[in-house]
């Protein structure tokens, strides 16, 4: 299981595929766009099923090792069509795929012979229109649903399936959609096309990325963190992390291909106590493009674990470390170019509780700040492309909490009640910008400066500075209701997405603050 020291020559070890690093950058960028487009498509099609196979992982990883990364698997070995598109991911053969897959089952609808879509957007549709983009590799699986002989033919591409004979027989074929337009697919068995077995394949011009406006929700809910450990003896704690690349929603109508731990930004909040042994199982999803790894700032040892966890898609690595010092620490991917991996979303926090835990509060939250470097200016619709030059010269377009613009305003504000004590574990993934973290309308009662819980907290703080790769803990009691605003007090960044709400239920007009002049005798 432990792949330490193993290298995979088929997959570039970082750097190689980053656009903009060399004079050939333009061309590479173009291919990266294509790759990204293809990937986006695949993440949509296959991500959910990819999770279902996590238990097969060991075997899948071994098989994937033997697969050249460049193989076009859909052509190399068609998946059994009877399993439908989703199940195709169970085979590592199609893990590096870059095909758009449709599955059609033959059947009868309203007295006519038809094709019926299986899985994905076309599920259940009669003679579905197959939407693809120019240049995409298209794979069509045909399943015989009722027992008569059938096939699928697309004349314009000179593409056709084998004839499927007998119920549940299946066949698969693929072709590259080089011609733009609408073309018929149909059954070539005599009379079947006229009987209803005909549909359209619509090949749209341009890359898919230009059309995509929606993406997966990659936002980590700030309330999504494990509860306090408190009193218990040190033990072995297993941590499962999966590196997943997916097209996610960056803003309304704007997406980006995030690289994540466990599909969200930041990655899962890891909580252990001092003296625990942390056994980290890092799995790189089979449909990843990049190698990934993990560096725990809470660990003592080479690369914080990154030296033992550089893994190719489909692989798994295990590294174990002792949590020697309590504190709040960042973890992040440490595969070159590290800045690229971090900006794309590969960071999270680990809390190593001191013996007995932290003082109790009513609510705890998990917030991390990051910035993103896109070719397109802030506010552009469509799918964003990472800009390596901007990354190197530290000129971000986007700043955000928890992975996207609006993550902590529109989708997941922090909620509390007046009178409660609140704690925010706040970290900066970055990769480059130091945060001047502040909650507008509040004063931090306690700040665990520099993330240290071994030193006494500082009392009564307005704004706390948190460097990239650093974290802090702030506690405060909320005295009254109202909307409070989380910001980096370098407020230009709020205009680029960096803002969050703390919505507090409770009386909003009281003697601590109220509209108008001081009231007689009250103050
Ligand atoms: Cu990575």
Per-residue pLDDT tens listing for the chain (523 residues)? 333 333 333 333 333 333 333 333 444 444 444 444 444 444 443 333 333 233 333 333 333 333 333 333 333 333 333 333 333 333 333 323 467 889 999 999 888 999 999 988 899 999 999 988 888 889 999 999 999 999 999 998 899 999 999 999 999 898 998 888 888 999 999 999 999 999 999 887 666 654 445 799 999 999 999 999 989 999 999 999 999 999 999 999 999 999 999 999 999 999 999 999 999 999 999 999 999 999 999 999 999 999 999 999 999 999 999 999 999 999 999 999 999 999 999 999 999 999 999 999 999 999 999 999 999 999 999 999 999 999 999 999 999 999 999 999 988 999 999 999 999 999 999 999 999 999 999 999 999 999 999 999 999 999 999 999 999 999 999 999 999 999 999 999 999 999 999 999 988 877 888 888 987 755 4
Three-state DSSP at 88 gives helix
Q: What is the pLDDT of residue 128?
A: 94
* Residues around ligand 1, an ion, CB closer than 5 A: 292, 333, 335, 341, 346
The Å distance, Cα 331 to ligand 1 centre, comes to: 11
* DSSP E strands, 333-467: 347-353, 363-372, 382-383, 398-401, 414-417, 421-430, 435-440, 444-448, 458-461, 463-466
Placement of tokens 């990364």 in the chain: 69
Q: Give the span between the Cα atoms of 386 and 395, in whole angstroms.
A: 12
Which of 435, 447, 443 has the alpha carbon at shortest distance from 369?
435
Alpha helices in 223-296 (DSSP H): none
The Å distance, Cα 187 to ligand 1 centre, comes to: 45
Q: What is the pLDDT of residue 213?
A: 53
The Å distance, Cα 335 to ligand 1 centre, comes to: 5
Q: Give the CA count within 13 Å in the CB-facing half-sphere of 115.
A: 32
Q: Is the whole model's pTM more than 0.75, yes or no?
A: no
Q: What is the pLDDT of residue 120?
A: 85
Q: What is the pLDDT of residue 98?
A: 60
**What domains lie within the chain, and their CATH numbers?**
53-60+67-210 (2.60.40.420), 236-505 (2.60.40.420)
The Å distance, Cα 378 to ligand 1 centre, comes to: 24
The Å distance, Cα 3 to ligand 1 centre, comes to: 16
Q: What is the pLDDT of residue 203?
A: 83
Instruction: Report cis status (omega within 30 of 0) of the bond before 337.
Output: yes
Which of 337, 335, 368 has the alpha carbon at shortest distance from 351?
368
For 97-120, the pLDDT digits (tens) are: 467 889 999 999 888 999 999 988
The Å distance, Cα 47 to ligand 1 centre, comes to: 18
The Å distance, Cα 379 to ligand 1 centre, comes to: 26
Q: What is the pLDDT of residue 329?
A: 98
Placement of tokens 């011609």 in the chain: 179
Q: What is the pLDDT of residue 92?
A: 32
Which of 448, 458, 404 has the alpha carbon at shortest distance from 423?
448
Q: Give the span between the Cα atoms of 15 and 337, in whole angstroms.
A: 5
The Å distance, Cα 495 to ligand 1 centre, comes to: 28
């Amino acid at each position: 299981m432990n792949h330490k020291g193993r290298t995979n020559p088929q997959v570039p070890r970082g750097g190689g595929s980053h656009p903009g690093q060399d004079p050939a950058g333009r061309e590479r960028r173009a291919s990266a766009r294509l790759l990204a487009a293809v990937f986006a498509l695949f993440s949509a099609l296959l991500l959910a099923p990819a999770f279902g196979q996590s238990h097969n992982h060991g075997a899948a990883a071994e098989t994937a090792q033997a697969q050249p990364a460049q193989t076009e698997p859909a052509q190399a070995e068609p998946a059994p069509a009877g399993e439908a598109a989703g199940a195709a991911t169970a085979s590592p053969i199609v893990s590096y795929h870059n095909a758009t897959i449709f599955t059609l089952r033959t059947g009868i609808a309203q007295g006519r012979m038809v094709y019926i879509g299986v899985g994905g957007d076309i599920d259940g549709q009669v003679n579905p229109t197959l939407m693809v983009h120019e240049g995409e590799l298209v794979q069509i699986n045909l399943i015989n649903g009722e027992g008569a002989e059938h096939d699928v033919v697309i004349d314009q591409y000179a593409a056709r399936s084998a004839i499927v004979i007998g119920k549940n027989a299946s066949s698969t074929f693929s072709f590259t959609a080089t011609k733009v337009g609408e073309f018929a697919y149909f059954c070539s068995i005599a009379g079947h096309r006229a009987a209803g077995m005909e549909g359209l394949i619509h090949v749209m011009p341009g890359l898919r990325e230009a059309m995509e406006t929606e993406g997966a929700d990659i936002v980590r809910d700030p309330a999504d963190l494990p509860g306090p450990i408190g009193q218990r003896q040190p033990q072995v704690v297993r941590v499962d992390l999966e590196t997943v690349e997916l097209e996610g929603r960056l803003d309304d109508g704007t997406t980006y291909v995030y690289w994540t731990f466990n599909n969200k930004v930041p990655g899962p909040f890891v909580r252990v106590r001092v003296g625990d042994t942390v056994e980290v199982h890092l799995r790189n999803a089979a449909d990843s493009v990049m190698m990934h790894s993990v560096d725990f700032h809470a660990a003592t040892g080479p690369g914080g674990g990154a030296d033992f966890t550089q893994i190719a898609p489909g692989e798994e690595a295990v590294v174990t470390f002792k949590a020697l010092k309590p504190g709040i620490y960042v973890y992040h991917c440490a595969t070159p170019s590290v800045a690229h991996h971090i900006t794309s979303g590969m960071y999270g926090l680990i809390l190593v509780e001191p013996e007995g835990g932290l003082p109790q509060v009513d609510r705890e939250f998990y917030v991390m700040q990051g910035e993103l470097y896109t070719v397109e200016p802030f506010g552009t619709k469509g799918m964003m492309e990472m800009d390596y030059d901007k990354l190197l010269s530290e000129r971000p377009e986007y700043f955000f909490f928890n992975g996207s613009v609006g993550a902590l305003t529109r989708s997941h504000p922090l909620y509390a009640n007046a009178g409660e004590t609140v704690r925010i574990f706040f970290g900066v993934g970055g990769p480059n910008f130091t945060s001047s973290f502040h909650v507008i309308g509040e004063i931090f009662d306690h700040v665990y400066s520099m993330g240290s819980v071994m030193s006494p907290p500082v009392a009564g703080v307005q704004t706390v500075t948190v460097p990239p790769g650093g974290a802090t803990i702030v506690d405060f009691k909320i005295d009254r209701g109202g909307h409070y605003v989380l910001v980096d007090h370098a407020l230009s960044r709020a205009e680029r997405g960096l803002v969050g709400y703390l919505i507090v239920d409770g009386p909003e007009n009281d003697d601590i603050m109220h509209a108008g002049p001081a009231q007689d005798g009250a103050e």
